[in-house]
Structures are given as C-alpha cells and as structure tokens.
Amino acid sequence: EVQLVQSGAEVKKPGESLKISCEGSGYSFSDFWIGWVRQMPGKGLEWMGIIYPGDSNTRINPSFEGQVTMSVDASINTAYLRWSSLKASDTAIYYCARRLRHCGGDCYDPWGQGTLVTVSS
C-alpha cells in the first residue's frame, strides 16, 4: 500500500525553528515528486511547492519563497519542510502528498495525514 506518514503535531513559540517530516512507503520514493500543502484553521488548501527526491529539484510557490525550505533524504524515503523562524501566522495543518504521473500534471494522491503546527507565545 502506498502511504505517506507525517510527523506528529508541534507546538512552538514565535521565532523558533521547526522541521516536519513525511515518510513514504509502498513505492519507489525517489521516482515521484512530493508536494506540500498548507491548510490554515477552517480554511482552504494552499500549494506551497514540490520537491523531487531523485535530485532534490524544487519548485516553490512565490507566496512561500523565503518562508520555508523543502528538503529530502531519499536514503530514508523522507521529505522535510523547515522553518527557521516561525510566526503565529504559520499556524496550520501541513500536508505532504505524492504527485501522480498518470494525470499529466500536478495532481496528488495519496496525502499524508497532516501535521498540525501551532505557533503561540
């Protein structure tokens, strides 16, 4: 079974750093792009960007440029999303998702279960 398992919920203070993870299993991790999507409380979905585990090639949404860093360790089938200095407005659920090949573009399935990040003083 193809699945993505994300790291657990985090509670952080403004200004702190954070790295969350997304581990893939059941498929060749290096061969499929991984996307990251933000969902702020009670809101819709925002595409943050994608990373290719095979060569760490990355495409970031300009709205998130400079705010987060995407990385991957293909040797352990894991993608990461990192913040160097969190803000209260980063409070959200963050999803990773596998980009499918057969849809001809960026459509995603499956999705991880989501990581809730709460930033509060």
Partner 1 sequence: AIQLTQSPSSLSASVGDRVTITCRASQGIYSALAWYQQKPGKSPKLLIFSASTLESGVPSRFRGSGSGTDFTLTITSLQPEDFGTYFCQQFSDYPITFGQGTRLEIK
Binding residues for partner 1, per CB under 8 A?
35, 37, 44-47, 59, 61-63, 95, 97, 100, 103-114
Residue 40: CB minimum distance to partner 1, A? 12
Which residue in the block uniquely carries the two structure tokens 């160097």? 84
Minimum Å gap between C-beta 22 and partner 1 is 12
The distance of closest approach from Cβ of residue 38 to partner 1 in the complex, given in angstroms and rounded to an integer, is 11
- Least distance in Å: CB of 45 to partner 1? 4
**Contact between 38 and 49 (Cβ < 8 Å):** no
For partner 1, the closer CB: 16 or 65: 65
Measured from the CB atom, the residue of 74 and 100 that comes closer to partner 1 is 100
Q: How far is residue 69 from each of residues 4, 58, 72, 85, measured CA to CA in Å?
A: 19, 10, 10, 11
Residue type, 90: D
CA 82 to chain centre: 9
Select 22 or 86, whichever has its Cβ closest to partner 1: 22
Count Cα neighbours of 64 within 13 Å in the Cβ-side half-sphere.
Answer: 22
